Chains A and B, each alone.
Chain A
Amino acid sequence: MTSGNRMDQTLLVGIEPPARLSARRLLLLGGIALIVAGMIFGDLFAVFVLHQNASRVGSNLAAASQAALQGEASSVAAYFTNVGSFLENRGTKVDAHVHMAEFGYLALLLAVLIPWIALSEKSKRAIAWVFLVGSALLPVGVFLIHYVGLARSPLESIGWASIFADAGGVAVLLSTLVYLFGLWKHFQSRRVAVDALSNARTTAGKLLLAGGLVLVLLGFAHGAYYAASDLYRQEAQDNLLLSNILHASVSADKPGLDLALADYGQLQGDKAVKIAAHAHIIEFGLLAMILSFFQPYVRFSEKWKRRWAWVLLAGSVILPVCVLFELRFGLLAGGLADFGGALVIVALVAMWIGIARYIEQFDSRSDVTP
């Protein structure tokens, strides 16, 4: 064992895992499970739905434009019903993926803050359950919106799936609000709470914190560059191309219509990859920073903890960079991006197993203690 490893082991002494079914344990394991589920769902969506769906949207938009060009007003609405349905399919799945991961991050952050929330353990545990149930209900509800629609809904434009999703969102909102109140109560009491987990520093933790911060900064810089150079230009181009499509349809200009449709499809792809790259690099940076806090709970050797941290950081760079190059290099970049996503998932699952091993060992030790 190196001296660095010895130091890390020394730091770990006295760091007890959260007690059985405690609020911290619920939020920690539930949070990682939500993130893993959200990422697996996102990867499956990217491989099996995203591109196929985009191509169906494009072909129906083209068909609607052709119908307009041929003066068939009645067919236009039918094609747009299809476009609407495909866009809803895509939108609800993206929303489910994003919310599942975001709620996972929030759960992990609340798990870190638990010792400073001045509420009874029983209350904190009950609120953690409300938070986790809401966090699962919202994405599942959003996912079902496309399939349930307005069936048997008492409302004009909101279906049952949306109602359940909104109820999930309210549950998350209220539980976060109660935790904020607990935190405020702690600050009012001026009581000093010491948490060994916050004090502990491991090499893997430092690596994840530094790497995560760099990723977030890169994501911010990319977002600023995108906003300055592309956002408004692309919005103007989007409007111009739609206007050109309509104009070509009205004047029965078939070559003009085909050109405008091709440009419009290209523009949508360009927008999508830039926004996805920006969002993913920041999300992964944030995830790396949050996971740095929990490295003392991961029961692997320091060498393996560092390896998993590198795997997570490598995937966090590969996915957004390859997404950015998807338009230029097509399937190769898409496949590499999916590989990057898989690396993040594998590292996350490994850390989850490491935490479960730590907890299991602690529980079995507690069981034999008189």
Chain B
Amino acid sequence: MTLARRVLILGGIALAIIGMCHGTWYAVFAEHQAVDHMGGSLVSAFTQAANRSSEQAQTALADYRQLKYVHDRQVDAHGHWIGLAMLLIVLGIVFDRVGLAEKWKSLLAIGLLTGAVTFPLSVFLQTLSHGSLPRALSIASSALMIGTLAIAAFGFASNRSNPSRLDM
């Protein structure tokens, strides 16, 4: 089996497992508590508004914002890890049909794997830091993913050769 296919298939399954571990951890240890806290903060914000305590209402709303920000990104990271993992496995199965030199295919596979690992990771890192670094990483990794996938699509389209035996 070529290096490119090995990178995509093994990398893809490993990434799916990471995504599942992350999802299981989040569902068991964090999600229920997070959702309860989000609801509590929102109720508190509106209750304080009813009591005409504007400042306390805004404080509770700020809590809600922070909790929702983290929850949305945890769910996004989980979904993207598994979705991208499946895409890597699919590409790995058919990667011999990409009409490029083996060296370029290996680089392309490494680029795809790097993008698929880094993009959800950058989304996850946004839960730890509100700075610009995780966001910059998100932009760079999504650009890498789109660029490598477009090259792979071009490679599939340009391959006019007969089916070759797959040496898996």
A–B pairs, 10, beta carbons within 8 Å:
A76-B50, A102-B86, A157-B36, A169-B24, A173-B17, A187-B6, A194-B166, A216-B149, A242-B64, A243-B58
Given that A68-B50, A293-B93 are contacting pairs, would A109 and B24 also be in contact in the complex, using a CB cutoff of 8 Å? no
A183 to chain B, nearest CB (A): 7
B3 to chain A, nearest CB (A): 11
Question: Hey, which chain B residues are within 8 Å of A176, CB to CB?
Answer: 13, 16-17, 20
Q: Tell me the chain B residues, 30-67 only, with Cβ under 8 Å from chain A.
A: 32-33, 35-36, 39, 42-43, 45-47, 49-54, 57-58, 61, 64-65
Task: Specify which of A158, A198, A247 is in contact with B93 (CB 8 Å cutoff).
Answer: A198
Give bound CA distance, A286 to B24, whole Å.
23
Question: Hey, which chain B residues are within 8 Å of A220, CB to CB?
Answer: 142, 145-146, 149
Task: Specify which of A76, A109, A223, A279 is in contact with B90 (CB 8 Å cutoff).
Answer: A109
Give bound CA distance, A88 to B89, whole Å.
33
A209 near B156: Cβ-Cβ < 8 Å:
yes
Q: Which of A80, A109, A180, A221 has the most CB of B within 10 A?
A: A109
Render A140-178 as a binary contact track against B, CB cut-off 8 A, 1 for contact. Answer: 000000000000000001100010011001101100110
Nearest 8 A-B pairs (CB), nearest first? A73-B50, A68-B49, A68-B50, A249-B49, A173-B20, A157-B32, A80-B43, A76-B46
Give bound CA distance, A194 to B53, whole Å.
72
Give bound CA distance, A169 to B31, whole Å.
15
Question: Hey, which chain B residues are within 8 Å of A166, CB to CB?
Answer: 24, 27-28
Question: Hey, which chain A residues are within 8 Å of B35, CB to CB?
Answer: 88
B22 to chain A, nearest CB (A): 10
A76 near B43: Cβ-Cβ < 8 Å:
yes
Asked if B106 is at the interface of the complex by the 8 Å CB criterion, the answer is no
Given that A68-B49, A166-B27, A249-B49 are contacting pairs, would A221 and B146 also be in contact in the complex, using a CB cutoff of 8 Å? yes
Known: A213-B152, A250-B49, A250-B57. 10 other contacts (CB 8 A): A64-B46, A68-B50, A157-B33, A166-B27, A169-B24, A199-B163, A210-B156, A214-B153, A247-B54, A292-B94
A198 near B166: Cβ-Cβ < 8 Å:
yes
Question: Hey, which chain B residues are within 8 Å of A180, CB to CB?
Answer: 10, 13-14, 17
Q: Which of A73, A83, A279 has the most CB of B within 10 A?
A: A73
Task: Specify which of A209, A227, A250 is in contact with B142 (CB 8 Å cutoff).
Answer: A227
Question: Hey, which chain A residues are within 8 Å of B111, CB to CB?
Answer: none
Task: Specify which of B16, B61, B90 is in contact with A286 (CB 8 Å cutoff).
Answer: B90
Sort chain A's interface into a size bin.
Answer: 35 or more
Return the chain B residue nearest A235 by Cβ: B69
A187 near B157: Cβ-Cβ < 8 Å:
no
Asked if A295 is at the interface of the complex by the 8 Å CB criterion, the answer is no
Given that A76-B46, A173-B17, A177-B17 are contacting pairs, would A198 and B24 also be in contact in the complex, using a CB cutoff of 8 Å? no
Number of interface residues of B (CB under 8 A): 62
A113 near B93: Cβ-Cβ < 8 Å:
yes
Give bound CA distance, A184 to B13, whole Å.
11
Question: Hey, which chain B residues are within 8 Å of A64, CB to CB?
Answer: 46
Question: Hey, which chain A residues are within 8 Å of B69, CB to CB?
Answer: 235
Given that A173-B24, A213-B156 are contacting pairs, would A84 and B13 also be in contact in the complex, using a CB cutoff of 8 Å? no
Asked if B103 is at the interface of the complex by the 8 Å CB criterion, the answer is no
A217 near B146: Cβ-Cβ < 8 Å:
yes
Question: Hey, which chain A residues are within 8 Å of B14, CB to CB?
Answer: 180
Question: Hey, which chain B residues are within 8 Å of A70, CB to CB?
Answer: 50
Q: Tell me the chain B residues, 100-142 only, with Cβ under 8 Å from chain A.
A: 138-139, 142
Q: Tell me the chain B residues, 1-16 only, with Cβ under 8 Å from chain A.
A: 1, 6, 9-10, 13-14, 16
A167 to chain B, nearest CB (A): 10
Give bound CA distance, A184 to B14, whole Å.
11
Asked if B99 is at the interface of the complex by the 8 Å CB criterion, the answer is no
Q: Tell me the chain A residues, 196-211 only, with Cβ under 8 Å from chain B.
A: 198-201, 209-210
Give bound CA distance, A54 to B110, whole Å.
43
Asked if A195 is at the interface of the complex by the 8 Å CB criterion, the answer is yes
Question: Hey, which chain B residues are within 8 Å of A102, CB to CB?
Answer: 82-83, 86
Return the chain B residue nearest A292 by Cβ: B94
Given that A65-B46, A192-B168, A223-B142 are contacting pairs, would A187 and B28 also be in contact in the complex, using a CB cutoff of 8 Å? no
B27 near A73: Cβ-Cβ < 8 Å:
no
Return the chain A residue nearest B12 by Cβ: A109
Return the chain A residue nearest B39 by Cβ: A84
